């Protein structure tokens, strides 16, 4: 049961509205870059690799909306479209990575006219989508090997097909382990305040028939203490040069708990999520969300009016707490400053603008 949560369909972007899950499986299509930008801002499209694909398709929508023939005006238009898309979600590096890659297409073909560039941009966006799908397959293959038969696995937020082009990152490893015949049970943290674990991850795992147990976020320590968790696997929105990991707020809590209970803590992410330009997690821009995501629960207010809210969407897990980073090229081990440098030097993903 693999799904295509975001796709190109005859000049339009088709995506599943993740805010309607798990009760409604609704797909939306648009040929307007502004509508796609709104879908990203409102989390109808979310997940680091999926945001990279959405950004690339957004540039294509913007390119196709340009009706003139002047190349310079077209380049200026594409730059503005990229700035608009890039302003949506600052923490997930896949989005900016994809925008740089799309921008490099127009930079590297100085003699091509507008029509040629429009076609080249579409081809590049489709290439990004294809690469992310193949990458997730490889992450799953590498990650399945570290999951023992009979494991209790804890995962957090959503790192499945919904967050990627298909297959997923953390969930890809879990699903591959299940398909290989391993008996596993997956514990899913609800992931407050937006419940991506409860709404999305449980929905995906149920579709595969995997034994899945939903727990409250603050039950993780007790479940570990009871010996029910043998391994933790989560996704990532950005991994920096020293191995620090930005992921959904609450991930750091789980990493600390895993360290306390001697449970291996793994991160699964494509190499496009690695940002070597930042030396430590202290430099990662952390998105802050609307206070209503904390003060309201599915449209019902749960906090007193006027309460001050701090709502970071992500936190940073220090590299010392990460047992391994599962990528499409294998599992990186400490020291991450060396293993990440080696990976990026040996297996440089396309980014023509770099």
Mean pLDDT taken over the chain: 94
- Which of residues 215 and 299 earns the better pLDDT score? 215
The CATH 3.40.50.10470 portion of the chain extends over: 140-346
Convert the pLDDT of each residue in 115-164 to its tens digit: 999 999 999 999 999 999 999 999 999 999 999 999 999 999 999 999 99
Return the CATH number of 6-137, one of 1.20.120.420, 3.30.2010.10, 3.40.350.10, 2.40.10.10.
1.20.120.420
Per-residue confidence (pLDDT) for residue 274, from 0 to 100? 95
Are residues 216 and 183 in contact, defined by beta-carbon separation less than 8 angstroms?
no
Determine the average pLDDT of the residues in 298-306. Answer: 95
Among 79, 67, 82, which Cα is nearest to 114's?
Answer: 67
Convert the pLDDT of each residue in 65-81 to its tens digit: 998 899 999 999 999 99
Using 50, 70 and 90 to split pLDDT, how confident is the model at 88?
Answer: very high
In this prediction the pTM is 0.91
Determine the average pLDDT of the residues in 180-186. Answer: 98
Per-residue confidence (pLDDT) for residue 2, from 0 to 100? 59
Per-residue confidence (pLDDT) for residue 253, from 0 to 100? 98
Of the candidates 237, 244, 275, 315, the residue annotated as catalytic is: 237
Per-residue confidence (pLDDT) for residue 121, from 0 to 100? 97
Long-range contacts made by residues 120-123, C-beta under 8 angstroms, separation at least 24?
121/59, 121/60, 121/63, 121/78, 122/8, 122/60, 122/63
* pLDDT tops 50 at residue 346: yes
Active site residue 259: no
* pLDDT tops 50 at residue 39: yes
Using 50, 70 and 90 to split pLDDT, how confident is the model at 99?
Answer: very high
What phi and psi values does residue 292 have, to the nearest 5 degrees?
Answer: -65, -20
Per-residue confidence (pLDDT) for residue 290, from 0 to 100? 94
Q: Looking at the domain 140-346, which fold is it?
A: Rossmann fold (3.40.50)
Cβ–Cβ contacts within 10 Å for residue 98, how many?
30
């Amino acid at each position: 049961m693999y799904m295509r949560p975001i796709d190109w369909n005859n000049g339009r972007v088709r995506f599943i509205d993740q805010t309607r899950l798990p009760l409604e499986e609704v797909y939306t299509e648009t040929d307007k870059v502004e509508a796609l930008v709104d879908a990203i801002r409102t989390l109808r499209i979310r997940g680091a690799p999926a945001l990279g694909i959405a950004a690339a398709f957004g540039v294509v929508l913007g390119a196709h909306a340009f009706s003139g023939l002047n190349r310079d005006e077209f380049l200026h238009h594409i730059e503005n479209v990229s700035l608009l898309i890039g302003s949506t979600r600052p923490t997930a590096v896949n989005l900016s990575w994809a925008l740089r890659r799309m921008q490099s297409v127009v930079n590297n073909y100085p003699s091509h006219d507008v029509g040629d560039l429009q076609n080249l941009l579409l081809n590049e966006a489709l290439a990004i989508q294809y690469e992310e799908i193949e990458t997730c397959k490889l992450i799953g293959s590498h990650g399945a090997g570290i999951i023992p038969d009979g494991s209790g696995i804890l995962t957090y937020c959503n790192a499945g097909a919904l967050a990627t082009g298909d297959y997923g990152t953390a969930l890809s490893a879990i699903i591959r382990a299940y398909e290989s015949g391993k008996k596993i049970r997956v514990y899913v943290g609800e992931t407050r305040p937006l419940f991506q674990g409860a709404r999305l991850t449980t929905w995906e795992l149920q579709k595969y028939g995997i034994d899945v147990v939903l727990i409250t976020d603050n039950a993780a320590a007790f479940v570990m203490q009871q010996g029910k968790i043998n391994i933790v696997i989560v996704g990532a929105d950005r991994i920096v040069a020293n191995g620090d990991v930005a992921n959904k707020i609450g991930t750091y809590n789980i990493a600390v708990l895993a360290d306390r209970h001697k449970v291996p803590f793994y991160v699964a992410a494509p190499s496009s999520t690695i940002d070597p330009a930042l030396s430590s997690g202290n430099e990662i821009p952390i998105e802050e969300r609307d206070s209503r995501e904390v003060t309201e629960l599915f449209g019902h207010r749960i906090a007193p009016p006027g309460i001050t809210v701090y709502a970071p969407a992500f936190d940073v897990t220090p590299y010392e707490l990460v047992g391994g980073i599962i990528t499409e090229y294998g599992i990186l081990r400490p020291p991450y400053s060396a293993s990440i440098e080696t990976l990026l030097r040996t297996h440089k993903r396309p980014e023509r603008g770099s």
